[in-house]
Protein backbone atom coordinates (compact mmCIF):
# COMPACT_ATOMS: atom_id res chain seq x y z
CA UNK A 1 0.00 0.00 0.00
CA UNK A 2 1.30 3.44 -0.94
CA UNK A 3 2.22 5.61 2.02
CA UNK A 4 0.09 8.72 2.48
CA UNK A 5 2.45 11.70 2.85
CA UNK A 6 2.65 13.16 6.33
CA UNK A 7 3.27 16.90 6.55
CA UNK A 8 5.93 17.97 9.06
CA UNK A 9 7.65 21.24 9.86
CA UNK A 10 11.38 20.97 10.46
CA UNK A 11 13.54 23.74 11.93
CA UNK A 12 16.67 23.95 9.80
CA UNK A 13 19.82 26.08 9.88
CA UNK A 14 20.14 28.77 7.24
CA UNK A 15 23.40 30.64 7.49
CA UNK A 16 23.42 32.32 10.89
CA UNK A 17 19.67 31.87 11.42
CA UNK A 18 17.13 29.06 11.58
CA UNK A 19 13.64 28.75 10.17
CA UNK A 20 10.95 26.18 9.45
CA UNK A 21 10.53 24.27 6.22
CA UNK A 22 7.55 22.05 5.42
CA UNK A 23 8.21 18.51 4.26
CA UNK A 24 5.82 15.91 2.89
CA UNK A 25 7.26 12.80 4.51
CA UNK A 26 6.64 9.58 2.59
CA UNK A 27 9.10 7.37 4.46
CA UNK A 28 11.89 7.50 6.99
CA UNK A 29 14.48 9.64 5.17
CA UNK A 30 12.22 10.20 2.17
CA UNK A 31 10.40 13.47 1.60
CA UNK A 32 9.57 16.33 -0.71
CA UNK A 33 10.04 19.95 0.33
CA UNK A 34 6.65 21.59 -0.09
CA UNK A 35 7.38 24.97 1.47
CA UNK A 36 10.64 26.79 2.08
CA UNK A 37 10.68 30.58 2.42
CA UNK A 38 14.26 30.61 1.08
CA UNK A 39 13.71 28.37 -1.93
CA UNK A 40 15.38 29.83 -5.00
CA UNK A 41 13.08 30.82 -7.81
CA UNK A 42 15.62 30.09 -10.55
CA UNK A 43 18.21 27.45 -11.36
CA UNK A 44 21.27 29.63 -10.82
CA UNK A 45 23.36 27.92 -8.12
CA UNK A 46 24.24 31.29 -6.66
CA UNK A 47 20.59 31.73 -5.71
CA UNK A 48 20.45 28.57 -3.59
CA UNK A 49 20.08 29.48 0.08
CA UNK A 50 22.17 27.83 2.82
CA UNK A 51 19.13 25.92 4.05
CA UNK A 52 18.71 24.34 0.62
CA UNK A 53 22.27 23.06 0.77
CA UNK A 54 21.66 21.83 4.30
CA UNK A 55 18.52 19.93 3.24
CA UNK A 56 20.49 18.35 0.40
CA UNK A 57 23.14 17.17 2.85
CA UNK A 58 20.50 15.97 5.30
CA UNK A 59 18.86 13.85 2.61
CA UNK A 60 22.17 12.39 1.42
CA UNK A 61 23.61 11.72 4.89
CA UNK A 62 20.39 11.13 6.80
CA UNK A 63 21.80 8.63 9.31
CA UNK A 64 24.87 10.68 10.25
CA UNK A 65 25.27 11.53 13.91
CA UNK A 66 25.25 15.27 13.26
CA UNK A 67 21.61 14.98 12.15
CA UNK A 68 20.37 12.96 15.14
CA UNK A 69 18.64 15.99 16.70
CA UNK A 70 16.77 16.67 13.48
CA UNK A 71 15.67 13.04 13.17
CA UNK A 72 14.29 13.32 16.69
CA UNK A 73 12.43 16.44 15.50
CA UNK A 74 10.91 14.36 12.72
CA UNK A 75 9.73 11.67 15.16
CA UNK A 76 8.01 14.32 17.29
CA UNK A 77 6.45 16.01 14.28
CA UNK A 78 5.25 12.90 12.48
CA UNK A 79 3.65 11.57 15.65
CA UNK A 80 0.98 14.25 15.35
CA UNK A 81 -0.42 12.42 12.33
CA UNK A 82 -1.57 9.53 14.53
CA UNK A 83 -2.44 6.40 12.56
CA UNK A 84 -0.91 7.80 9.36
CA UNK A 85 2.41 8.04 11.19
CA UNK A 86 2.61 4.32 12.02
CA UNK A 87 4.38 3.12 8.82
CA UNK A 88 7.00 5.88 9.04
CA UNK A 89 7.59 5.37 12.76
CA UNK A 90 7.92 1.62 12.21
CA UNK A 91 10.63 2.36 9.64
CA UNK A 92 12.25 4.72 12.16
CA UNK A 93 12.66 1.78 14.55
CA UNK A 94 15.56 0.80 12.27
CA UNK A 95 17.35 4.11 12.82
CA UNK A 96 20.93 3.49 13.96
CA UNK A 97 20.62 6.08 16.74
CA UNK A 98 19.48 4.63 20.07
CA UNK A 99 17.62 7.80 21.10
CA UNK A 100 15.84 7.96 17.73
CA UNK A 101 14.61 4.37 17.56
CA UNK A 102 13.71 4.49 21.26
CA UNK A 103 11.67 7.67 20.69
CA UNK A 104 9.98 6.01 17.72
CA UNK A 105 8.97 3.00 19.81
CA UNK A 106 7.66 5.24 22.61
CA UNK A 107 5.65 7.23 20.09
CA UNK A 108 4.10 4.06 18.68
CA UNK A 109 3.06 3.17 22.23
CA UNK A 110 1.43 6.59 22.56
CA UNK A 111 -0.50 5.98 19.33
CA UNK A 112 -1.79 2.81 20.95
CA UNK A 113 -3.66 -0.18 19.54
CA UNK A 114 -3.57 1.00 15.88
CA UNK A 115 0.21 0.50 16.03
CA UNK A 116 0.02 -3.13 17.20
CA UNK A 117 -0.08 -4.89 13.77
CA UNK A 118 3.01 -2.98 12.61
CA UNK A 119 4.82 -3.77 15.87
CA UNK A 120 3.99 -7.47 15.54
CA UNK A 121 5.44 -7.43 12.03
CA UNK A 122 8.54 -5.64 13.35
CA UNK A 123 9.18 -8.61 15.69
CA UNK A 124 10.51 -10.37 12.57
CA UNK A 125 12.84 -7.56 11.51
CA UNK A 126 16.45 -8.43 10.61
CA UNK A 127 17.83 -6.05 13.24
CA UNK A 128 17.80 -7.33 16.82
CA UNK A 129 17.30 -3.89 18.33
CA UNK A 130 14.13 -3.43 16.25
CA UNK A 131 12.78 -6.75 17.52
CA UNK A 132 13.66 -5.77 21.09
CA UNK A 133 12.02 -2.34 20.83
CA UNK A 134 8.92 -3.89 19.25
CA UNK A 135 8.57 -6.48 22.02
CA UNK A 136 8.92 -3.78 24.68
CA UNK A 137 6.29 -1.63 22.99
CA UNK A 138 3.86 -4.54 22.68
CA UNK A 139 4.27 -5.24 26.37
CA UNK A 140 3.56 -1.63 27.29
CA UNK A 141 0.44 -1.78 25.13
CA UNK A 142 -0.58 -5.11 26.73
CA UNK A 143 -1.31 -6.29 23.22
CA UNK A 144 -3.15 -9.58 23.66
CA UNK A 145 -3.15 -10.16 19.89
CA UNK A 146 0.66 -10.27 20.01
CA UNK A 147 0.89 -13.22 22.43
CA UNK A 148 1.66 -15.93 19.87
CA UNK A 149 4.24 -13.73 18.12
CA UNK A 150 5.90 -12.92 21.45
CA UNK A 151 6.08 -16.59 22.38
CA UNK A 152 7.72 -17.26 19.03
CA UNK A 153 10.17 -14.45 19.84
CA UNK A 154 11.26 -16.38 22.95
CA UNK A 155 13.32 -18.44 20.46
CA UNK A 156 15.23 -15.38 19.25
CA UNK A 157 19.00 -15.80 18.96
CA UNK A 158 19.53 -12.54 20.90
CA UNK A 159 19.12 -12.63 24.67
CA UNK A 160 17.91 -9.03 24.78
CA UNK A 161 15.02 -9.89 22.47
CA UNK A 162 14.11 -13.02 24.45
CA UNK A 163 14.16 -11.03 27.68
CA UNK A 164 12.01 -8.22 26.22
CA UNK A 165 9.52 -10.75 24.84
CA UNK A 166 9.21 -12.57 28.16
CA UNK A 167 8.75 -9.27 29.98
CA UNK A 168 6.06 -8.27 27.47
CA UNK A 169 4.16 -11.50 28.13
CA UNK A 170 4.31 -10.82 31.87
CA UNK A 171 2.94 -7.31 31.29
CA UNK A 172 0.09 -8.75 29.19
CA UNK A 173 -0.63 -11.03 32.13
CA UNK A 174 -3.59 -13.39 32.41
CA UNK A 175 -4.58 -13.27 28.70
CA UNK A 176 -1.14 -14.73 27.92
CA UNK A 177 -1.46 -17.63 30.38
CA UNK A 178 -3.10 -20.25 28.07
CA UNK A 179 -0.45 -19.72 25.39
CA UNK A 180 2.34 -19.81 27.98
CA UNK A 181 0.97 -23.08 29.36
CA UNK A 182 0.99 -24.52 25.85
CA UNK A 183 4.55 -23.28 25.40
CA UNK A 184 5.66 -25.48 28.32
CA UNK A 185 5.54 -28.29 25.73
CA UNK A 186 7.76 -26.48 23.19
CA UNK A 187 10.73 -28.37 21.77
CA UNK A 188 13.04 -25.46 22.61
CA UNK A 189 14.14 -25.64 26.27
CA UNK A 190 14.70 -21.89 26.33
CA UNK A 191 11.05 -21.32 25.42
CA UNK A 192 9.91 -23.77 28.11
CA UNK A 193 12.12 -22.07 30.68
CA UNK A 194 10.99 -18.53 29.77
CA UNK A 195 7.35 -19.63 29.77
CA UNK A 196 7.67 -21.14 33.23
CA UNK A 197 9.33 -18.01 34.56
CA UNK A 198 6.60 -15.81 33.06
CA UNK A 199 3.84 -17.99 34.52
CA UNK A 200 5.41 -17.73 37.96
CA UNK A 201 5.54 -13.94 37.74
CA UNK A 202 1.99 -13.58 36.39
CA UNK A 203 0.68 -15.57 39.34
CA UNK A 204 -2.41 -17.18 37.82
CA UNK A 205 -3.19 -20.39 39.80
CA UNK A 206 -4.47 -22.19 36.68
CA UNK A 207 -0.80 -22.61 35.73
CA UNK A 208 -0.01 -24.80 38.78
CA UNK A 209 -1.21 -28.20 37.42
CA UNK A 210 0.46 -27.75 34.00
CA UNK A 211 3.71 -26.69 35.70
CA UNK A 212 3.58 -29.73 37.99
CA UNK A 213 3.08 -31.95 34.95
CA UNK A 214 5.92 -30.20 33.11
CA UNK A 215 8.22 -30.71 36.08
CA UNK A 216 7.65 -34.47 35.95
CA UNK A 217 8.54 -34.58 32.24
CA UNK A 218 11.34 -32.00 32.05
CA UNK A 219 14.87 -33.31 31.39
CA UNK A 220 16.74 -30.01 31.18
CA UNK A 221 18.14 -29.10 34.60
CA UNK A 222 17.93 -25.30 34.11
CA UNK A 223 14.33 -25.56 32.99
CA UNK A 224 13.48 -27.84 35.91
CA UNK A 225 14.85 -25.19 38.26
CA UNK A 226 12.79 -22.49 36.53
CA UNK A 227 9.63 -24.60 36.85
CA UNK A 228 10.31 -25.27 40.53
CA UNK A 229 10.80 -21.54 41.17
CA UNK A 230 7.61 -20.73 39.29
CA UNK A 231 5.66 -23.22 41.38
CA UNK A 232 7.05 -21.70 44.58
CA UNK A 233 5.98 -18.25 43.42
CA UNK A 234 2.51 -19.42 42.49
CA UNK A 235 1.95 -21.41 45.67
CA UNK A 236 3.19 -18.49 47.76
CA UNK A 237 1.02 -15.89 45.99
CA UNK A 238 -2.11 -18.05 46.05
CA UNK A 239 -2.18 -19.12 49.71
Does residue 217 sit within a domain?
A: yes
pLDDT at 90: 94
pLDDT at 133: 95
CA distance 175 to 111: 22
* CATH code of residue 228: 1.25.10.10
Helix (H) / strand (E) containing 93? none
| Segment-wise mean pLDDT, segments of 10 residues, the chain, 239 residues | 83 91 94 85 62 92 94 94 92 93 94 94 95 96 96 94 96 95 93 94 93 93 94 85
Domain assignment present for residue 117? The answer is no
Question: What pLDDT is stored for residue 47 in this prediction?
Answer: 66
Q: How many angstroms separate the CA atoms of 18 and 51, rounded? A: 8
Whether residue 41 lies inside any domain: the answer is no
Is residue 140 in some structural domain?
A: no
Does residue 212 form part of some domain? Answer: yes
pTM of the model: 0.88
- Is 141 part of a structural domain of the chain? no
3-class secondary-structure state, position 13: strand
- The answer as to whether 183 is a domain residue is yes
d(CA 65, CA 101) in angstroms, rounded, equals: 13
Q: Is residue 210 part of a domain?
A: yes
For the chain, the domain total comes to 1
Find the domain containing 194 and state its range.
179-239
17-39 b/e with 16+ CB inside 10 Å = b?
eeeebebebbebbebebeebebe
pLDDT of 3 reads: 73
- pLDDT recorded at residue 48: 77
Amino acid sequence: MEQTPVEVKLIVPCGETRHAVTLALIGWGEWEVTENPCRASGEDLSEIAPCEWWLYRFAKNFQDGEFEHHRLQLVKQVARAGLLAVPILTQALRDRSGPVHTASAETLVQIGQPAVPALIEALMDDEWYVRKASAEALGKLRATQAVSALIEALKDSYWYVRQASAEALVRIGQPAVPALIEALKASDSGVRRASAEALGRIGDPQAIPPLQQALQEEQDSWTRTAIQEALKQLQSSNR
